[in-house]
């Protein structure tokens, strides 16, 4: 049993994000949720770069394909009450559970959860990793994700409430 994959599965469970990766939307949801968990302090060690749909980690992509296969082959338990294998540190569990208001799209957001996660993760990445101000970040989002630009202020408010932006 691969301990790293068990931990990844536990992260996703705590975040309320299924480990399914059948569709592009599934993979976006996993990528962005883990990115946000890491910047909140529950670091798994994945490095992210800017890609078409925002922050992207090739290493995480490799691991979630392995995780999907391990779940399919029943090598990793899928229930939240894992009896064997590594457990999350209590501090990480607290961090991941505190992310629920950020991972869940607000009721005023009319698109899908993966769109919300893409917006929030992208805005965070642009403002912190690329050191852009809000207006420059908004321009990039408008160019690359025009369907999400009207929610930039909402995303920034949620990032501040989660203490991921000053």
In the prediction, which pLDDT does 88 show?
84
* CA–CA distance, 106 with 148 (Å, rounded to integer): 13
pTM over 0.85: yes
Q: Is residue 152 part of a domain?
A: yes
Within a domain: 146: yes
pLDDT tens digits, one per residue of 127-153: 999 999 999 999 999 999 999 999 999
- pLDDT, position 78: 60
Give domain status of residue 75, yes or no.
Answer: yes
Find the mean pLDDT for residues 26-40. 97
Distance CA 144, CA 151 (A): 14
Q: How many domains does the chain have?
A: 1
Instruction: Name the residue range of residue 139's domain.
Output: 3-161
166 assigned to some structural domain: no
**Cβ 31 vs Cβ 56: under 8 Å:** yes
Mean pLDDT score across all residues of the chain: 92
20, 94 contact by CB (below 8 A):
no
Determine the Cα–Cα distance for residues 79 and 12; give it in Å rounded to an integer: 12
Hey, is 105 helix, strand or coil?
Answer: coil
Confidence of residue 122 (pLDDT cuts 50, 70, 90): very high
The whole-number pLDDT of residue 76 equals 78
In a domain, 84, yes or no: yes
CA distances from 8 to 14, 25, 91, 113, 126 (A): 10, 18, 15, 20, 25
Is 47 contained in some domain? yes
């Amino acid at each position: 049993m691969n301990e790293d994959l068990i931990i990844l599965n536990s992260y996703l469970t705590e975040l309320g994000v299924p480990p399914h990766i059948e569709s592009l939307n599934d993979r976006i949801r996993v990528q962005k949720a883990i990115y946000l968990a890491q910047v909140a302090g529950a670091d798994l060690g994945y490095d992210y770069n800017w890609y078409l749909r925002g922050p992207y980690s090739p290493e995480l992509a490799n691991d979630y394909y392995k995780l999907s296969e391990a779940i399919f082959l029943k090598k990793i338990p899928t229930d939240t009450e894992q009896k064997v294998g590594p457990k999350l540190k209590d501090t990480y569990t607290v961090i991941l559970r505190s992310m629920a208001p950020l991972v869940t799209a607000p009721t005023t957001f009319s698109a899908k959860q993966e769109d919300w996660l893409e917006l929030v993760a992208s805005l965070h990445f642009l403002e912190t990793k690329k050191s852009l101000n809000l207006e420059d970040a908004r321009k990039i989002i408008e160019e690359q994700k025009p369907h999400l630009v009207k929610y930039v202020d909402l995303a920034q408010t949620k990032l501040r409430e989660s203490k991921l932006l000053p």
